[in-house]
Structure 1
């Protein structure tokens, strides 16, 4: 989908606290029984609702595109792993099934949303706002890029909102007790000191020897680590308003005609520069009396600037003798603006003017009447505006023609490109990370790697790349993800195998060292022999930002030692270096004073229980529902 519209994405410090302090004892329900399967190839049927192959594929491709857009290279590494992709597709199907089950419950509960409620929810979404205001243009553009129409997105939102309303009624009954929060806070605030004795894996790399047989065995056992991503060979037509603009060469007569038709666009608007005195009072009669008195004093010869400084409620302009900046029509309060533009002589005073802010007396300081910019001076601007307008018109026309021709000639883009006189661009085999920069957007990734285009050998729909460019694709050829030949990755396989064997040797040494530490035997000689590094790490907290989370987790897993026993264990970092962690000291949390932390912990504890309840609810709904899988879906999710 376009986005997880209703997901609470709390990922901050408190959420991480809960994650590490309390281990979830539930998992979302699995796929369930495959004994009953539909005769069709639809991935699943939930009661009487069909989850079509197109729905699954679109959701799957959108999930991939969203991951790439959000996590970049980290996501790309995962998406190159076929095993992960299979798991991802399974999770997407599970999610669609769960949504269908909840939609059924919401429907049975009689939850209905009006069109206005749905529209209001959409208007509030920041994805569709410009300067904190809903933009219909951005709404249409954003939906187009991810393959939605306003109608289909509205229907999706309606279901999402109804489902969430029903879930809220079930999940919002959870609560926490003060003692639970206090215990959680004490764990959160606890500090620990440890000694860390690290044996570097590289110290054993010279001892490691690998044979060709070992390389072959490692390659076969870890083949998923040496995958070539799926690839496509594309033909595509890119339609760009900027390219169309280059072809527009207006004549002088074209520009003069355009100038005459759009005179307002080349007119400098009238402006006024005024000073004012603002009088306000909660008692309207008192305000009127005072402003009339000030006006009388001005007419008697009193200095306007001096009275503005002493009498005006507009303190900012009062410091400047009431003077305001130049302004055009449509900027000021309508009553103020009308009175200001009615003044024609410098130093002319207005009568008393009532606006939404109070009572004003306005003095004209200077004025500029509207002036039309001469053609000769505006020619460059006229030319650019002419080209912009014409390119937009031509772009809209060509976009419609591209859509029509692509539909009428579905099996190739050759005749489409020839008719439109646009270049037919081609790629060699490329992965999802290698799309040409001009068309590298999530919507294109989704279409290029969707099964539909290659299976049906058809042109894509017109895909929005930006506000001024669209593209149509045709998948010419496809290569599924496959293991790279050993000859291509032998050096990498050897390096990985050497690292594994070196880490194993380091671990053997670390186990020996750990046994001595626990037995309270001298280890200095062994530490020196192993060239191990000894560090003291004091005052560690569970979520210290200056150490890896995995390391903090290992430190806080160490048991509190009884009597004179030594609490120690092994820890391995991502490079394969092996460490012995020895617990030196535990510092209890001080008396709780952080009210904000308590509140956050309480909220996250409630959220955790809601997640547990949600998991149990989904499992129950799945047990009671009739869920049938197509044979292909079984393979995808097993």
Structure 2
């Protein structure tokens, strides 16, 4: 059991626990949903804090969108099953309940985060960075796509971080003993030799005879496998920066004015090429004196390059005689930069300069003054920049107008389209996997299939498809998921039923042969008749890459052979082929001296213990809480 957990360690709940807890409310919780909700419509109330219906709906739709984005067609089949959707919604609600309980615990513990702590955490999130630097425009754009504004996101982040800090205090107390890691190491390195007798399912397929009654019964019993996913008809208007750019036709006077107002954009800045000698020492005074001594030698005629190679702490530039690449203002340490740009003549030396890195002597090798590109040569670039700036302004204005018109006229997109001079795009009935490419993003999937839009018959909010494209949609019609008629899927039904019956017969045959193997009987004749394949796998590792994980798991579940007893079991692959596994040898490795491996195993053990602790903690919180559900009033008290 422990080793089974370790196999899935990288995918385990605890391995992703902290990340999940941080983003849970981003993905699952809405902020504004506590306002203007109808009385008594809350799906759950946790210790007097309500989980609103709108929060649950948004959480549910976001979870669906996440599954579709991650698993594609596999998720579509699940999400077309009404029974599964009910279970999914219940699961999302339970996660929200757990989240509220943990929030309350963190609050009672007195954990508070300052505004600066929250801002720092947000600025460090890679989702909001460009070239490892926080990008405010990207931040605003991403928030728009997931339905947040900066204040609501910061509030959600504050709550999530508080919960994380409290959980860290609980979960990081877990530890693993060296003896536990040693035992796990021995199990990890164990090797096994196994004989594999594979009975192909194809040996039974031709023996299957089906009647119409069989086909009809299978179709009804497995109707959830033949579902037409829910579908919608959509109307939408698309606001595209590329189309807006076509309407911008600047005059030459406007372009010249723009050129003058933004002259810095069309100027190649002044830049320098210098060499330097860097002196560092824990004793600053000694470093300064050493730099002054070298400066005196240079003024007396010493060779700068030779001194740099011998004395400079900047080993990379020292190899080149202290030479640095060309640079402009705003690149170097401020003190270094100020001293360098104060030099005017080639080979001129600076005084000793103190920077954040130590003490420098700087020599000017070359200098290029700022060069302004004439308007005639820059005209093409000026036009493009002018259009880009105007498009950004116009796009922002049109987005606001789109939002206002859609809110003021929620019943359709007609007024919106007229007001913005945009066409209304219309789809036929489509599933979530058939969205037009131009609008195929998670946010659209979430809203297009949300109960809110179709039940209230309202326009959506403005959805940011990208930094340059936005849209508003209206659900014109809806078809719930339904079972496809037998006539349309009969071939699929027959294929599945034949496969199921063949697998059933193959399994029965394999079980009968397994009994004989365990009794020590010879089965060669039966294997020949079945065209079975016999293979030997030597030195199979528990986590080896040469065999499927489930196969290795089945092999390592077999008991170690003892005496004349045969240790054997069954394994079925994903095609239904049945294999009899006969364990022939177990090789126990000597104790590993790999400290890095043992450290990794210790960390994995700690994660498993944290998982158990987290589960027990949540269960205790639930037992001591008052939880009321709208559907079936469910309450537990102290």
TM value normalised by structure 2: 0.87
CA distance in 1, matches of 2:286, 2:113: 52
Mapped contact 2:232–2:449 kept (Cα < 8 A): yes
Q: 1:162 Cα deviation (Å)?
A: 3.2
Mapped contact 2:182–2:591 kept (Cα < 8 A): no
Matched, 1:68 2:62: no
- Between 1 and 2, higher relative CO (CA 8 Å, sep ≥ 6) is seen in 1
> Residues 62 and 297 (structure 1 numbering): CA distance in 2 closer, same or farther, change over 3 Å?
same
CA distance in 1, matches of 2:594, 2:381: 61
Mapped contact 1:200–1:532 kept (Cα < 8 A): yes
Spell out the pairing of 1:210-359 with structure 2 (5 A cutoff).
Answer: 210-278=210-278, 295=295, 298-299=298-299, 304-306=304-306, 308-309=308-309, 312-359=312-359
- Provide the secondary structure at the position in 2 that maps to 1:446: helix
The worse-fitting range, judged by mean Cα deviation, of 353-362 and 370-379 is 353-362
CA distance in 1, matches of 2:173, 2:333: 50
The worse-fitting range, judged by mean Cα deviation, of 235-244 and 491-500 is 235-244
Mapped contact 1:14–1:604 kept (Cα < 8 A): no
Matched, 1:517 2:511: no
Mapped contact 1:41–1:632 kept (Cα < 8 A): no
CA distance in 2, matches of 1:282, 1:544: 51
- Provide the secondary structure at the position in 2 that maps to 1:593: coil
Mapped contact 2:439–2:465 kept (Cα < 8 A): yes
Matched, 1:540 2:540: yes
CA distance in 2, matches of 1:258, 1:17: 55
Q: 1:268 Cα deviation (Å)?
A: 1.7
Q: 1:113 Cα deviation (Å)?
A: 3.2
2:9: which partner in 1? Answer: 15
- Provide the secondary structure at the position in 2 that maps to 1:259: helix
Q: 1:328 Cα deviation (Å)?
A: 1.7
Q: 1:359 Cα deviation (Å)?
A: 4.7
- Provide the secondary structure at the position in 2 that maps to 1:207: coil
CA distance in 2, matches of 1:381, 1:17: 50
Spell out the pairing of 1:464-543 with structure 2 (5 A cutoff).
Answer: 464-543=464-543
> Residues 350 and 16 (structure 1 numbering): CA distance in 2 closer, same or farther, change over 3 Å?
closer
CA distance in 1, matches of 2:172, 2:315: 50
CA distance in 1, matches of 2:233, 2:572: 43
CA distance in 1, matches of 2:480, 2:367: 72
Mapped contact 2:272–2:327 kept (Cα < 8 A): yes
Residues matched between the structures, number: 607
2:607: which partner in 1? Answer: 607
Mapped contact 2:198–2:534 kept (Cα < 8 A): yes
> Residues 16 and 534 (structure 1 numbering): CA distance in 2 closer, same or farther, change over 3 Å?
farther
1:186: which partner in 2? Answer: 186
CA distance in 1, matches of 2:191, 2:306: 66
CA distance in 1, matches of 2:622, 2:356: 61
CA distance in 2, matches of 1:564, 1:299: 93
CA distance in 2, matches of 1:175, 1:357: 41
Q: 1:380 Cα deviation (Å)?
A: 0.6
CA distance in 2, matches of 1:114, 1:280: 38
CA distance in 1, matches of 2:162, 2:580: 53
Mapped contact 2:268–2:371 kept (Cα < 8 A): yes
The worse-fitting range, judged by mean Cα deviation, of 211-220 and 606-615 is 606-615
The worse-fitting range, judged by mean Cα deviation, of 157-166 and 418-427 is 157-166
Mapped contact 2:77–2:229 kept (Cα < 8 A): no
1:31: which partner in 2? Answer: none
Q: 1:381 Cα deviation (Å)?
A: 0.4
- Provide the secondary structure at the position in 1 that maps to 2:434: coil
The worse-fitting range, judged by mean Cα deviation, of 447-456 and 272-281 is 272-281
Mapped contact 1:18–1:605 kept (Cα < 8 A): no
2:100: which partner in 1? Answer: 100
2:56: which partner in 1? Answer: 56
The worse-fitting range, judged by mean Cα deviation, of 537-546 and 134-143 is 134-143
CA distance in 2, matches of 1:233, 1:619: 43
Q: Structure 1: state its 5+ residue gaps.
A: 1-10, 20-37
CA distance in 2, matches of 1:478, 1:447: 13
CA distance in 2, matches of 1:112, 1:285: 44
Matched, 1:437 2:437: yes
Q: 1:361 Cα deviation (Å)?
A: 4.5
CA distance in 2, matches of 1:387, 1:18: 50
CA distance in 1, matches of 2:140, 2:273: 41
CA distance in 2, matches of 1:588, 1:454: 63
Mapped contact 2:77–2:227 kept (Cα < 8 A): no
Mapped contact 1:43–1:633 kept (Cα < 8 A): no
Q: 1:180 Cα deviation (Å)?
A: 3.7
The worse-fitting range, judged by mean Cα deviation, of 597-606 and 302-311 is 302-311
Mapped contact 1:175–1:606 kept (Cα < 8 A): yes
2:151: which partner in 1? Answer: 151
- Provide the secondary structure at the position in 2 that maps to 1:535: strand
Mapped contact 2:351–2:361 kept (Cα < 8 A): yes
Mapped contact 2:236–2:413 kept (Cα < 8 A): yes
1:560: which partner in 2? Answer: 560
> Residues 449 and 288 (structure 1 numbering): CA distance in 2 closer, same or farther, change over 3 Å?
closer
Structure 1, residues 382-419: CA drift from partner, whole Å, max 9, x if none?
01001001101101111110110110110111110111
Q: Structure 2: state its 5+ residue gaps.
A: 14-37
1:406: which partner in 2? Answer: 406
> Residues 562 and 16 (structure 1 numbering): CA distance in 2 closer, same or farther, change over 3 Å?
farther
CA distance in 2, matches of 1:177, 1:298: 62
Mapped contact 2:190–2:587 kept (Cα < 8 A): yes
Mapped contact 1:461–1:472 kept (Cα < 8 A): yes
Mapped contact 2:231–2:481 kept (Cα < 8 A): yes
CA distance in 2, matches of 1:315, 1:253: 53
- Provide the secondary structure at the position in 2 that maps to 1:631: coil
1:162: which partner in 2? Answer: 162
The worse-fitting range, judged by mean Cα deviation, of 214-223 and 266-275 is 266-275
CA distance in 1, matches of 2:456, 2:118: 35
TM value normalised by structure 1: 0.87
Q: 1:437 Cα deviation (Å)?
A: 1.6
Structure 1, residues 498-539: CA drift from partner, whole Å, max 9, x if none?
111111222232223222212212211111111000011121
- Provide the secondary structure at the position in 2 that maps to 1:466: coil
CA distance in 1, matches of 2:596, 2:310: 47
Q: 1:334 Cα deviation (Å)?
A: 3.2
- Provide the secondary structure at the position in 1 that maps to 2:206: helix
1:85: which partner in 2? Answer: 85
CA distance in 2, matches of 1:496, 1:390: 59
CA distance in 1, matches of 2:212, 2:97: 47
Q: 1:618 Cα deviation (Å)?
A: 3.1
